[in-house]
């Protein structure tokens, strides 16, 4: 059974990725380490992130989390998924259908991980640090418990 903290953190990663795409125009992370207490995502990026941009990213993620957006899963035929998504990280390219995770209308991507059913279950997102080296922007983040858990 999946630990709820991993589901919270993993869903927050989806929102962070889409926020990075929308705010900075970069691609989704190419590497992620998701842990219950703290996580990190690595992005291909051409410069360091400013503190103002970091604040904008954190604000954008928290806006989506606080909005109580429904999260649902859709099985999509492989050929249809290939038209809409980057499938290079698909673990088994011989599948007939791909599992697509939707965070409302905000984000959709192929994923096999566990997720919460609504972003209101995640709690506040904190971008703890960010660094840049050799074209890689690393964002480290953690989550506070949802309001109902306090």
Structure tokens at 139: 């964002």
Q: Mean pLDDT over all residues of the chain?
A: 92
- Tokens 């941009």 belong to which residue? 53
Question: Does residue 36 register a pLDDT over 60?
Answer: yes
Task: Give pLDDT, residue 65.
Answer: 97
Q: How many residues does the chain have?
A: 150
pLDDT in tens, 56-75: 999 999 999 999 999 999 99
Class of domain 4-145: alpha beta
Question: Does residue 149 register a pLDDT over 80?
Answer: no
Q: Where are the domains of the chain?
A: 4-145
- Residue 68 Ramachandran class (φ > 0 left, ψ -120 to 50 alpha, else beta): left
Give the predicted TM-score (pTM) of the model: 0.92
Q: Per-residue pLDDT averaged across 95-116, rounded?
A: 94
pLDDT band of residue 89 (cuts 50, 70, 90) is confident
Q: Select from 51, 93, 69, 79 the least CA-distant residue to 15.
A: 69
Say how far apart CA 7 and CA 88 lie, in whole Å. 23
Q: Return phi, psi of residue 49, to 5°.
A: -85, 135
Q: Which residues have a Cβ under 8 Å from the Cβ of 111 and sit 6 or more positions away?
A: 14, 99, 100, 101
């Amino acid at each position: 059974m999946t630990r709820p903290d991993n589901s919270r953190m993993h869903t927050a990663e989806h929102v962070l990725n889409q926020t990075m795409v929308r705010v900075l125009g970069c691609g989704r992370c190419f590497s992620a380490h998701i842990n219950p207490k703290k996580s990190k995502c690595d992005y291909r990026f051409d410069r360091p992130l400013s503190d103002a941009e970091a604040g904008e990213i954190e604000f954008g993620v928290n806006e989506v989390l606080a909005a109580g957006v429904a999260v649902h899963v859709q099985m999509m035929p492989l050929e249809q998924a290939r038209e809409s998504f980057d499938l290079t990280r698909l673990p088994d390219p011989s599948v007939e259908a791909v599992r697509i995770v939707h965070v409302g209308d905000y984000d959709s991507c192929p994923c096999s991980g566990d997720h919460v059913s609504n972003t209101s279950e995640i709690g506040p997102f904190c971008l703890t640090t960010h660094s840049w080296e050799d074209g890689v922007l690393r964002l480290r983040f953690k989550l506070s418990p949802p309001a109902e858990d306090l």
